[in-house]
Structure 1
């Protein structure tokens, strides 16, 4: 057993970059996927709506840990190739994020009253212009608190990537704890780093909810 050194603390902070990086990858690539699913879900075409609903229900019914295991252990077996941990966890988190954003954003679009579409039509706007200039700004405002709240859960959820050997904050904490046998101090430090990221986002989410309530 030894005390935690400055190098150990640096390794935890360095691993935090991968926690943030993985979150950014999930949002950057999962966002467009979520938008497509949201548009499909809000579509008047029954086939697109049914397909989006099926995808959302399927992925939401699978635990995130199972998705990680599938892409890291299962896909290489099926394809006969090795997938780097970063690629495997990125694919899993992108799909996970896209599906939840699709659910949030799709519901926000559907929450806009039909009268808003009709108002756009009265102004002579085409459907696409009605959506981008009238519906989307309102749907974005409605979805923002839930989207930020999900982002907080996503940051904390990146800790599951440690199961497949991806070295983010939780995995780095496990390695430092194993080397120093200072589990309490190590995981307290890791928890504090998570808190520094998640707490401001949580406050922002609450302010957004209050501001949205105040507009009704």
Structure 2
């Protein structure tokens, strides 16, 4: 395990971070829309978004990436591995974050909604100024927890041939025949990324629980 092999792992790490960032940011934007639709009070839309969430929560991420990359190509939508994984992670993240934030919106005390209606606030103003700030605060620990899962989920990008951290480790292991050393380093790199987020999420959970007493 020399310098060149370690640098190759760092290149894989770079793509893992990039995929995680794209999937999370785009998933946040789409998830916010889904959360608002899930709490819109319009039955058909709520049922449609509930079905969307159930689809992505009820199937493995591995299968979702496989379908995006190979399935869309069958109907003429061809994407390279990078774009397919980014789209797959975004769809996956949007479903989970949409449900997390839907729970946050519904966890806001009902009196807040009734008070904003009594003030004759519009729906957009009610959400933007009253409900969403409180809901996102409630949901922040769970959102960070999902980000940790998303980072680890990028390891499945190898199913479509994309070289991120795990696949880079597999390539090096097959070259130098030191799997324990290589995947020990790979595991440590994942730990360095995920552990601070886990600690921060636990800190926020304790902080918000204390302030709610």
- TM-score computed with the length of structure 2 as normaliser: 0.96
Q: Is residue 139 from structure 1 mapped to residue 141 from structure 2 by the alignment?
A: no
For 1:187 and 1:101, locate their aligned partners in 2 and report how far apart those are by CA, in whole Å: 30
Measured against aligned partners, the alpha-carbon deviations of 1:97-144 in whole angstroms (never above 9, x if no partner) come to 011010101111111122101222334433322221111111011110
Pick one of 151, 159, 167 that aligns with 1:155: 151
Cα distance in 1 between the residues matched to 2:137 and 2:98: 15
One of 42, 49, 54 as aligned partner of 1:52: 49
| Residue matched to 2:25 | 28
Q: 1:117 to 1:82 in 2, by over 3 A?
A: closer
In the other structure, the counterpart of 2:100 is 104
Q: Mind listing any 5+ residue stretches in structure 1 that lack a counterpart?
A: none
> Which residues in structure 2 correspond to 1:67-146 (within 5 Å)?
67-79=64-76, 82-146=78-142
SS in 2 for 1:166: coil
1:168-216 C-alpha deviation (Å, 9 max, x unpaired): 0000000000110010000000000000000000001100110111111
The Cα of 1:77 is off from its aligned counterpart by 2.3
The whole-number CA distance in structure 2 between the counterparts of 1:187 and 1:109 is 41
Corresponding residue to 2:169 among 167, 173, 180: 173
Instruction: Name structure 2 gaps, 5 residues minimum.
Output: none
Aligned residues: 212
Q: CA RMSD of the aligned region, Å? A: 1.2
